[in-house]
Amino acid sequence: MVESWALIVAIGVIYLTALGCIYRILLTYRTAQGAIAWIIGLLGLPYLTVPLFLLIGRNRFGGYVKARRMGDESLTNLLDYFEQQTTSISEPADRHFTDELQVLCSLGRQPFTEGNQCRLLRDGDDTFDALFEAMENARRYILLEFYLVRSDRVGQRIKSILKRKLSEGVEVWFLYDDIGSVWLPRHYLKELSKAGAHVASFGDGNVRRRRFQINFRNHRKLLVCDGLVGFVGGINLGDEYLGTAIDQEPWRDTHCRIEGPAVTGLQLAWLEDWNWASDEVPSLDWAPHEATPGEDKVLILPTGPADEWETCTLFFLNCINNARRRLWISSPYFVPDVQIMHALQLAALRGVDVRILIPEKADSRIIGLAAYSYLAQAAQTGIRIYRYQPGFLHQKVVLVDNRYAAVGTANLDNRSMRLNFEISMITTAAHFVASVESMLKDDFGNSRTMTEQDYQARSIVFRLTCRALRLLGPLF
């Protein structure tokens, strides 16, 4: 009799929890298809779906939001001060362009700054050479934030430089994502800590605040030295970006180097993440530095699930909807939601040269197959999809006309749009835009153009599989 009552109570708790989850979904859902899928699962299989939802079902990082609202007053003041800096985005001959750029400032709560020097780093060799040089030249502090860190040759070189700089009195703060760096040996981190580095995991953070929010990942990759030089892009700390990893295709990726007041934007994005992970605001020089001899206008755009809006989605929509002649996007993952796909189609229909560059050899079989299902929609409106051939393409780049370019960490998939913390740099600098154009032309030359027949000529089983996997897009 007691066992029967215990079973009834347990079942009641499960269903009450399921109803609570449904209540939360109805209040906070961002896509109807995702909400419907969760509700069906919670009603039909609550024993399986309730724990799954508690682990990966949330779409807003409650703990980070609370930390942002109740965080250190000095951090809030720094963020507000930088946001209120005078922007330099006036385009007298093109009022529409000025408004378009102002939207991006509003999304990221950061200004466009002028007086910067930007340099495109086209591959891993260029990037690591520049990273190593900047760290070697650091005199006061080094801030690192990477999704994935390996203990391979690149990782060991990074550790060696950091330990040497620590011995010279340079302060080091090292932030990593515990899911992306799950295979990083603990002794690697202990060595850095023992040498005097401040080390924190974004996923660990404050356990009391985190509460099962493991689906949110810090996908950002950035480095700042002395507040003067910064780096951002798609490259993590691993040998695969040099093409030297054993039994692995070389990775094609892109980063950029920034010098000037825009580096403050990188610092503040890092600072907010570090504050969440450690409840600490380091006593460093956070004020914007004077402009360098450069003339580049740059915006740093952090996006993530703690934002009031879907900032990453709105960023892509702003780029797509305002493109006039050309829209070239490179992303390793192409699983757009309905609104992004419709915006791409409309851009192509109004005569914009829309090109999507994705890898031939995806690192995720599921996402690679799901991308095939978009071929028919793309071909019908003139969108061209290219598959990069020599190795795995991992870069995240956007080129809008000849007006501006973005390099960062955001992909064209649900995870970047709604679940990951991402960051991009956007610049109107003509020389940088030209460098991105030249780079992408070379990448298109190393790619094959996909056609609708690549999908329609395949077996019905293949097409059904692609369509079925596309339904999982909101969960990727």
Q: Residue 120 is inside which H or E element, if any?
A: strand 113-121
Closest CA relative to residue 150, chosen from 117, 111, 183:
183
**DSSP letters along 80-115, please?**
HHHHTSPP----TT-HHHHHHHHHHHHHHT---EEE
Catalytic residue among 219, 297, 307, 443: 219
**96 is an active site residue:** no
Largest CA distance in the chain: 82
User: What's the token pair of residue 384?
Assistant: 């061209």
What is the rounded distance in angstroms from the CA atom of residue 330 to the CA atom of residue 443? 9
177 among known catalytic residues = no
User: Looking at 226, 273, 307, 337, which residue is catalytic?
Assistant: 226
Is 198 an active-site residue? no
The catalytic position among 297, 394, 413, 443 is 394
Query: Which of the following is catalytic: 123, 159, 177, 221?
Result: 221
Cβ-based neighbours of 400, under 8 Å, separated by 6 or more: 319, 322, 323, 326, 327
Catalytic residue among 123, 337, 396, 413: 396
Strand 113-121, strand 255-259: pairing: antiparallel
221 noted as active-site residue: yes
How many other β-carbons are positioned within 10 Å of the β-carbon of residue 11?
12
Catalytic choice (123, 239, 296, 401)? 401
Read off the amino acid at residue 369: L
DSSP string of 121-168, one letter each residue = E-SHHHHHHHHHHHHHH-SSEEEEEES-B-SSHHHHHHHHHHHHHHHT
Catalytic residue numbers read 219, 221, 226, 394, 396, 401
